[in-house]
């Protein structure tokens, strides 16, 4: 009997994903699968899912083996009590590469002082010699798939990289710290801090008045992770005082960022519209279909969400 795979996301996503998913299914030997936007719930084997889908009640999907998320973030769905089947988050190689490139670009921008050297309102000849990467300390907060890859890439460029996570982790070539004491030590080194933590109650306001004060004066912040990781009022105060030299923010508590938000006009803030990394349909489809293959072969699913941790 062919597999029934429900695509539960907004209509515009169907236009993007239908062909890549069908190609990946055919390549994996599931060319006869029924991939559709509407299937009787009792007949659905797998759900390809986006948390902003109208589907929020999973109770009728009694046959479903797994919900395969199209997003890296699952905070909007992980607490749904009706979702009792395995939930896999998206770890997309294309998204990871995009994030690495975006973060590396902004780290280099701060490291080399590009804003200072180029963005001037009047001509001013001020020769200077920027430090080498080996003289710059970068801290990556969050050592999941994205954070670990970003940390290793920056280390490969010569930066002194420290990685921090809530629980102990090991990443080759990276000085890894964890826990409250590890966060304090990490931030004390952070000339440039990159935030790639998940959005959970335990990570909200990781950067607040107390932790921002632990950073070297004149440090830089890059947040392509989640908006709630930062206490916005505390960051604005730290920018005004000079404790933090500049912040590049790609994610916010409310998106789109409201027109009257002070981040838009603050001279020490760069706002980007949640563009640091995007799931690529071609590579994400391969990840989705690999989990379907695993489910049909009674092999463990990859990228499963730990409901207790929330990611």
| Residue range 14-39, pLDDT digits in tens | 999 999 999 999 999 999 999 999 99
What pLDDT score does 300 carry? Answer: 98
Q: Is residue 12 part of a domain?
A: yes
Task: Kindly indicate the confidence band of residue 120, based on its pLDDT and cuts at 50, 70 and 90.
Answer: low
pLDDT digits (tens, 9 = 90+) for 103-116: 999 999 999 999 88
Q: Are residues 62 and 104 in the same domain?
A: no
Strand order in the sheet with 87-88: 34-36, 4-8, 46-49, 66-69, 87-88
pLDDT confidence bin for 126, thresholds 50/70/90: confident
Q: Band of the pLDDT at 212, cuts 50, 70, 90?
A: very high
The CATH number assigned to the domain holding 71 equals 3.40.50.720
Please indicate, yes or no, if residue 16 is contained in any of the structural domains. yes
Residue 122 forms part of a structural domain = yes
**Residues 212 and 236 both lie in one domain:** yes
| Other beta carbons within 10 Å of 90 | 20
Please give the tally of structural domains in the chain. Answer: 2
Residue 221 has pLDDT above 80, yes or no: yes
b/e map of 7-23 (b: 16 or more CB within 10 Å)? bbbeeebbebbbebbbe
CA distance 305 to 264: 35
The gap between the terminal CA atoms of the chain, to the nearest Å, is: 33
Taking the model in full, what pTM does it have?
Answer: 0.85
* Within a domain: 309: no
What integer pLDDT is reported at residue 220 of this predicted model? 98
| CA gap 41, 290 in Å, rounded | 22
Q: Are residues 52 and 63 in the same domain?
A: yes
**Residue 121, pLDDT score:** 63
- Just list the catalytic residues: 226, 274
Does residue 285 fall inside a structural domain? yes
One domain, residues 212 and 150: yes
In which domain, by residue range, is 234 found?
Answer: 93-271
- Give the distance from CA 204 to its chain's centroid: 15
Same domain, 125 and 263: yes
């Amino acid at each position: 009997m062919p597999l029934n795979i429900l695509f539960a996301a907004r209509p515009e996503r169907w236009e993007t994903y239908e062909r890549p998913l069908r190609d990946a299914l055919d390549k994996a030997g599931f060319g006869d699968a029924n991939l559709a936007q509407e299937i009787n719930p009792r007949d659905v084997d797998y759900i390809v899912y986006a948390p902003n889908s109208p589907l929020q009640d999973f109770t009728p999907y009694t046959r479903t083996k797994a919900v395969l998320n199209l997003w890296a973030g699952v905070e909007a769905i992980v607490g749904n009590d009706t979702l009792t089947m395995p939930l896999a988050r998206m770890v997309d190689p294309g998204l990871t590469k995009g994030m690495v490139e975006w973060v590396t670009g902004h780290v280099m921008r701060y490291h080399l002082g590009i804003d200072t050297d180029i963005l001037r309102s009047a001509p001013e000849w001020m020769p200077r010699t920027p430090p080498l990467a080996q003289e710059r300390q970068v801290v990556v907060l969050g050592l999941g798939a994205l954070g670990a890859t970003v940390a290793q890439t920056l280390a490969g460029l010569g930066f002194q990289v420290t990685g921090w996570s809530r629980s102990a982790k090991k990443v080759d070539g990276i000085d890894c710290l964890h826990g409250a004491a590890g966060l304090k030590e990490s931030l004390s080194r952070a000339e440039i801090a990159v935030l790639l933590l998940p959005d959970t109650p335990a990570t909200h306001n990781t950067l607040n008045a107390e932790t921002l004060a632990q950073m070297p004066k004149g440090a830089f912040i890059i947040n392509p992770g989640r908006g709630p990781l930062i206490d916005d009022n505390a960051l604005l105060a730290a920018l005004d005082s000079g404790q933090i030299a500049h912040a590049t923010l790609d994610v916010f508590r409310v998106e789109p960022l409201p027109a009257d938000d002070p981040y838009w006009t603050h001279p020490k803030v760069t706002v980007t519209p949640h563009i640091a990394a995007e799931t690529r349909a071609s590579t994400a489809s391969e990840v989705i279909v690999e989990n379907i293959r695993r489910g049909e072969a009674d092999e463990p699913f990859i990228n499963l969400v730990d409901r207790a941790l929330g990611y």
